[in-house]
Amino acid sequence: MEKFLWGVATAATQIEGAYDTDGKGLSIWDVFSRIPSAIRNGDTPDEACDSYHRFKEDIALMKEIGVNAYRFSVSWSRILPEGRGKINRKGLDYYRRLTDELEEAEIAPNITLYHWDLPYELQRIGGWLNRDVADMFADYAEIVFKNIPNAKMFATHNEPIATYVGYALKAFAPGYGLEKYGRQANHNLLLSHGKAVERFRASKHKAKIGIVVDIWNRVPADKNSLRDVALAAEQNGLAHGSYLSPLFCGEYNRYVEEKMKREKIKIERKSDDLKIIGVPLDFYGLNCYNRIMVSACPDVDVRKVIAQNGGNFADNGNEMYPDAIYDALKIARDDYKVNIPIYITENGIGFENENTVNGKVMDLQRIEYLKNAFASLERAKKDGFDVRGYFLWSLLDNFEWNAGYSMKFGICTRDRKKKASADFYKEHIVKNQ
Ligand code: GCO
pLDDT of residue 341: 98
Ligand 1 atom at minimal distance to the Cα of residue 287: 7
Residue segments in the chain with a per-residue pLDDT below the cut of 50: none
Ligand 1 atom at minimal distance to the Cα of residue 11: 10
Please, where are the H alpha helices in 148-221? 161-168, 179-203
CA–CA dist 157, 248 (Å, integer): 15
Among 319, 346, 354, 400, the active-site one is 346
| Beta pairing partners, 408 | 351
pLDDT in tens, 374-388: 999 999 999 999 999
Contacts of 275 (CB under 8 A, 6+ apart): 250
Identify the three-state secondary structure at position 66. Answer: coil
pLDDT of residue 2: 81
The pTM of the full predicted model, rounded to 2 decimals, is: 0.98
* 400 in active site: no
pLDDT of residue 1: 64
CA–CA dist 79, 86 (Å, integer): 9
Contacts of 258 (CB under 8 A, 6+ apart): none
| Beta pairing partners, 241 | none
pLDDT of residue 59: 99
* 346 in active site: yes
Q: How far is the CA of 227 from the centre of ligand 1 (A)?
A: 31
pLDDT of residue 380: 98
DSSP 8-state symbol, 42:
G
pLDDT in tens, 20-33: 999 999 999 999 99
Residue ranges with strand state E in 102-169: 108-114, 153-158
Q: How far is the CA of 272 from the centre of ligand 1 (A)?
A: 32
Q: Which of 9, 175, 198 is nearest to 108 (CA)?
A: 9
CA–CA dist 410, 404 (Å, integer): 13
Among 159, 319, 354, 400, the active-site one is 159
- In Å, what is the CA distance from 4 to each residue of 22, 102, 110, 388? 37, 17, 14, 5
Ligand 1 pocket by Cβ (under 6 Å): 11, 14, 158-159, 214, 287, 346, 350, 393, 400, 409
